[in-house]
Chains A and B, each alone.
Chain A
């Protein structure tokens, strides 16, 4: 009782402060622009979609934000649980890696990049717990069962390895594996890409439910504007590495200002 009240107070206190601040983030691959001069802030509980055509720089930006790819220039800051704003690229590698496996999640388009394919579903979910010191098998297992249930994977699949899972199940397992440490910020790169439409719809529903239940902050990359529409509060439109338009998702999609966004919206959303 007391604990939850205290967490509540802390959350309230930092509610109006950004969780992530991106200032002039730029990444060049040689002379080629990956992304250039990107600026935005992400607030706690906010879902931000990054949209744009293939090659527009969405993945590059996401990787820069999540410390998987050092930007050529620019500053990316993250507010830690103590409330301090930290420059991600000035943190030690140990701190960054700790952040990545506790406070953050990363859901890859290809589940095999985000899962250990040769260990059981239970161990995939339990790994982060063990990485932060969980040493009670029974507890780890029951937490894993709990999370499998939340992503709609039957308990009796806990000892199967993900090679025996369908594409949709693998994505759901990947999500459970990430959420088990109660991260505050989750990065997703085309999490529904390559799945059947019906499987996509179910996964999107699940993600939407989890995001609102857990109050997650999410940055999701997608070229599918329907995904942005369904999940995100705000949308950032990229073209040739630049952010060309940004705003509330409904506004951007219903009333695009830039010609390029108008083109995107008309070609994809209209039948």
Chain B
């Protein structure tokens, strides 16, 4: 955390765009959030030079904690290269001058939308989540006064009503994203729209996890080494998504895969959603079954069949 002004690119910006008073206010909210794991702390969210859907909550949290020596990684659905990730990374590089990276292991701050990196995070790292809707009870109980009371009194029966309905309707818990968790045996929390595949990574994570919701003006946190449990039933235990095949490019197993459509004939492949993880493996000589030339190979296979 630093008070300096970075004036190389644009001297009309304060370091990390926000003024120091705003950053202090956000840091106080973050400290409170860390002190009460999973509890949503209200904060006076500021206008940011980007639309809400772009993760202004995460941006404000990052802006409040970033210092000149940090190394920043920005990911969107596992990728460093989407428009959103590139723009936000550019924003921070321009307003702070910090070094940016795509390598998970080199980053000290990782701001993310919808994924947790595959590589386990370490104690010197902070993961900042962009959160659209922070209230896990919202869909079931629209009244804010009531949800606040439910959190205060630990009245979470309604969360299980939702899971009950899933099983009654679909024969299993059909929730696959933003799957609710119980933090530190106390607060039920929405982990943001990460796939439930990533939920177990939150449990006892070495890194600090911070969550920022800009439009809804809430910050919450999971401090390092905190118990994070996915809600379930005894006879319908929580399970993560399973993939039939390894990553087509790097051969990784037990990672989250995205389906990629290759042509309009229905050819497709499954590849790591975490693009840095995949590249790293390929650099280290791991080869998936479609690594050489995915297009040709699938055409060949199509012809054989």
Query: Interface on A for B, CB 8 Å cutoff?
Result: 93-94, 97, 101, 116, 119-120, 122-123, 126-128, 130-132, 135-138, 140-141, 158-159
Contacts and interface: CB of A to CB of B under 8 A. Distances in A.
A119 B162 CA distance: 8
B120 to A, nearest CB: 30
13 contacts: A97-B155, A119-B161, A120-B168, A122-B164, A123-B165, A123-B168, A127-B158, A131-B157, A135-B160, A136-B235, A137-B164, A137-B235, A137-B236
B234 A130 contact: no
Contacts of A141: 168
* Secondary structure call for the B interface: helix
Contact of A159 (B160, B161, B168): B168
Contacts of B235: 136-138
Interface in B127-157: 149, 153, 155-157
A231 to B, nearest CB: 30
Contact of B157 (A93, A122, A130, A136): A130
Contacts of A131: 155-158
8 closest Cβ pairs, A-B complex: A131-B157, A130-B160, A137-B233, A130-B157, A94-B153, A136-B234, A123-B164, A123-B161
Contact of A122 (B155, B168, B234): B168
Contact of A97 (B153, B167, B233): B153
Contact of B153 (A93, A123, A137, A140): A93
B52 to A, nearest CB: 27
A158 B155 CA distance: 24
A105 B232 CA distance: 27
A93 B164 CA distance: 27
A159 B168 CA distance: 7
Interface of B: 149, 153, 155-158, 160-161, 164-165, 167-169, 232-236
A127 B162 CA distance: 10
Contacts of A132: 157
Nearest to A144: B164
Contacts of B233: 135-137
A130 B161 contact: yes
Given A120-B168, A130-B157, A131-B155, 17 more contacts: A93-B149, A93-B153, A101-B157, A120-B165, A120-B169, A123-B161, A127-B157, A127-B161, A130-B158, A130-B160, A135-B160, A135-B234, A137-B164, A137-B235, A137-B236, A158-B168, A159-B169
Contacts of A128: 157
B100 to A, nearest CB: 45
B239 to A, nearest CB: 14
A159 B158 CA distance: 17
Contacts, number: 53
Contacts of A126: 161, 164
Contacts of B161: 116, 119, 123, 126-127, 130
A132 B156 CA distance: 9
Contacts of A120: 165, 168-169
A119 B165 contact: yes
A119 B160 CA distance: 12
Contacts of A123: 161, 164-165, 168
A132 B160 CA distance: 11
A149 B186 CA distance: 36
A137 B158 contact: no
Contacts of B160: 130, 135
Nearest to A126: B164
Nearest to A95: B153
Contacts of B167: 137
A158 B234 CA distance: 21
A97 B158 CA distance: 14
A137 B167 CA distance: 8
Contacts of A94: 153
Most buried by B among A97, A123, A127: A123
A38 B77 CA distance: 63
Nearest to A98: B153
A159 B171 CA distance: 12
A238 to B, nearest CB: 31
A140 B164 contact: yes
A45 B164 CA distance: 34
Contacts of A137: 164, 167, 233-236
A219 to B, nearest CB: 25
A122 B160 CA distance: 12
Contacts of B169: 120, 159
A101 B165 CA distance: 20
